[in-house]
Amino acid sequence: MDMKILPTIKSPVDLRKLRIDQLPELARDIRQAICGQIMKTGGHFAPNVGVVELTIALHYVFDFSHDRLLFDVGHQCYPHKLLTGRFPLLSGLRQKHGIAGFPDPRESDYDLFSVGHAGTSISTAVGMARGDTLKGEAFEPKTNPDGRRVVALIGDASIVNGVAMEGLNNAGTLKRQFLVVLNDNGMSIAKPQGAVAAYFDRVRVNPAFRKMKRMGKDVVSHLPGGSIVEEMYHRLGEVAKDFVTEDAWFEKFGLLTVGPIDGHDIPTLVDILLEVKSFDRPLVLHVHTVKGKGFNFAEGDATTFHSPKPFEVTNDQHLESEGCKVKLKTSGRSFTSAFGDAMIEMMKRDEKIVACSAAMPDGTGISKVLPEFPERTWDTGICESHAMDMMAGLAKTGFKPFFAVYSTFLQRAFDQVFQEVALQGLPVRLCLDRAGLVGGDGAVHHGFCDISLLRVFPNSVLMAAMDESSLKAGLEFMRNYEKGLSSIRYPRDNVSDRCEVAADEFPPFKLGKARPLLQHDQPDAAILGYGTMAISALKAVDILNGEYKINVYDARFAKPVDVDLIQSLLQRGIPIITVEDHGIEGGFGSSVIDACNERKLDARLVTRLAIPCRWIYHDSRDGQLEEAGLDPNSIARTVRHVLDASPTVEIEIKTEASEKIRTS
């Protein structure tokens, strides 16, 4: 990559030394750097290359070593990282000991929060604005011109999230500088949904935007040059009406609105930001950007290139040229793809099945279902709470709703699971993609607490899929379960063919019953693997190579667990090792311990392997499993510890669970 300017940027101080006419070349450098890295390792592509000019302009105008910059979602932070001294670290993006794919305060003081969920930036920014005011550190044009300014950057349709609305409602009450930059690219991860998204579509095609580039200079010429006087408030109000011919939606929240302006026109961005940076009221700057900007293949398919796997050019065209074609690298059939196909097959058989996703149709496999059943399938946009309540309403009217959602986003709808689903005894079915450790997205996206959250509800049934056949069988069980909430979890991984059998021979799910995978009449120990950890347990037995006789079970259920199996093993003095890709507190292993207590069984014979109670950061999924002690080698070592330890040590190991085992 031939980059001349970006390697010279050690901090935003260096950026602000550049001339305005040098900034487009810097933007090209940043796009080259991001594309070159993601081609090798994967990562968030389209959202990042879409905010390059906007990020440059923000850092050119504001000093975020002093001022506050709050990101929403965070998957558009790569240009920000490159401008804040982390260009030399880009080669380690999303890799162990490298930089995160999301803002991370461990890396830099320029990152204020670790963020990976939508809708939070405005509320956290309001909190920081209030905190700075209480401490006397807030910017005030007359009394404290050197004080801190606050900027919240929100985009990818996060503005339609309920939390964002709550933040706007409170932002309008501030009596100080507060800037919300709306990065409006007409997209979330997929096409945004709902009435608010439709409103922004109307604004975006307004003739005022088409002539915005010409108007930008005229606007600035009519504003007082950086001075804050009451006249500016009124003039900006008129400017907003010139830009947006409809009543500005944000003004209903008490925030003055300017825009939309061209988010790729650096001179106009800088001019407008210079004027609004010292405005002493809450203000929204509506910026229009193109997701995937600079790469035709990404602009034309921003959903696919939102967060692609590594990719390569499949013709001789340059990446930025119009004829360029790229090919994503694939490694096998994913659980997500298997889920989408299974849903289509079930919906063909059962007309009562309905399905939805919350802004993740591709990531959950619902994109396969939507064209097949457009009247019975919905993408609700970034609003998990609404989606959960909508599914409850559908269940109340006699339908069989399946909500496909990432495990990490399930917790955003916990109250709705409680009040509108579980308390009502409604059979809403949760399909939890990305359960467990997720790889490069790291701590902000791990699905480590879904069992803990859901097992507290009466009549809830919690399952995990081991492979594609068990996923299909679990979904079929859920289709017919009507007594309450049910869920099935599966990882961001490919399905294994280790235990595949013909569909008509695969044993169906029976409530609370495990499935034996490897059996001996008199085993030395038994491993209960939850979900894909059962496959890992079989690989661990391979590693042991006949040292011990080990029974392996596909546990299938975390609630209710197979208490009869547990009792049978423990009463014969057979140690049990539970293995799960979930947090150790409140997970499948905890369910086994609770079952032991209920039947007064000796729980000292139970050893739990699970995600330890500490944050596990970005790495490959395999690397994270190894760090957590959940890879086949670690499981094999645990078996040896359990069976070779003296009785005294054995008790200590089993009460301290997997963390003690790995350090002993």
Task: Give tens-digit pLDDT for 471-524.
Answer: 999 999 999 999 999 999 999 999 999 987 777 789 999 999 999 999 999 999
Q: Beta-carbon neighbour count of residue 546 at 10 Å? A: 8
Q: Fold for domain 6-288? A: Rossmann fold (3.40.50)
Q: How confident is the model at residue 655 (pLDDT cuts 50, 70, 90)?
A: very low
Lowest mean pLDDT among 38-47, 200-209, 281-290, 575-584: 200-209
The pLDDT score that the predictor gives to residue 187 is: 55
Q: Cα separation of 619 and 627, whole Å? A: 10
> By C-alpha distance, which of 476, 435, 483, 479 is closest to 461?
483
Alpha helices in 426-466 (DSSP H): 450-454
CB 453 within 8 A of CB 519: no
| Active site amino acids | 291, 384, 412
Q: Beta-carbon neighbour count of residue 646 at 10 Å? A: 8
Task: Please determine, for residue 652, whether its predicted confidence score (pLDDT) is greater than 70.
Answer: no
Percentage, residues of the chain above pLDDT 70: 86
The pLDDT score that the predictor gives to residue 304 is: 83
Q: How confident is the model at residue 16 (pLDDT cuts 50, 70, 90)?
A: very high
What tokens appear for 268 in the block? Answer: 């106009």
Q: Cα separation of 532 and 610, whole Å? A: 13
Mean pLDDT, to the nearest integer, of 608-622?
A: 96
CATH of domain 335-505: 3.40.50.970
Q: Cα separation of 48 and 307, whole Å? A: 10
Task: Please determine, for residue 231, whether its predicted confidence score (pLDDT) is greater than 70.
Answer: no
Q: Using N-to-C axis directions, what is the helix angle for 266-276 and 212-221, rounded to 10°?
A: 40
Which residues of the chain does CATH 3.40.50.920 include?
515-663
Which residues of the chain does CATH 3.40.50.970 include?
6-288, 335-505
Percentage, residues of the chain above pLDDT 90: 71
DSSP 419: I
The pLDDT score that the predictor gives to residue 54 is: 97
The pLDDT score that the predictor gives to residue 224 is: 38
Beta pairing partners, 377: 355
Q: How confident is the model at residue 242 (pLDDT cuts 50, 70, 90)?
A: very low
Q: Cα separation of 47 and 248, whole Å? A: 26
Q: How confident is the model at residue 298 (pLDDT cuts 50, 70, 90)?
A: confident
CB 554 within 8 A of CB 512: no
What is the C-alpha end-to-end distance of the chain, expressed in Å?
48
Contacts of 515 (CB under 8 A, 6+ apart): 470, 507, 553, 554, 556
Task: Please determine, for residue 661, whether its predicted confidence score (pLDDT) is greater than 50.
Answer: no
Mean pLDDT, to the nearest integer, of 347-364?
A: 95
The pLDDT score that the predictor gives to residue 240 is: 38
CATH of 515-663 among 3.40.50.1820, 1.20.210.10, 3.40.50.10790, 3.40.50.920: 3.40.50.920
Mean pLDDT, to the nearest integer, of 564-576?
A: 97
Contacts of 524 (CB under 8 A, 6+ apart): 548, 549, 550, 574, 575, 643
Q: How confident is the model at residue 324 (pLDDT cuts 50, 70, 90)?
A: low
Average pLDDT over the chain reads 87
What tokens appear for 293 in the block? Answer: 């900007």
Task: Please determine, for residue 325, whether its predicted confidence score (pLDDT) is greater than 90.
Answer: no
Q: Beta-carbon neighbour count of residue 389 at 10 Å? A: 19
Which amino acid would we find at residue 56? I
Q: Cα separation of 2 and 23, whole Å? A: 16
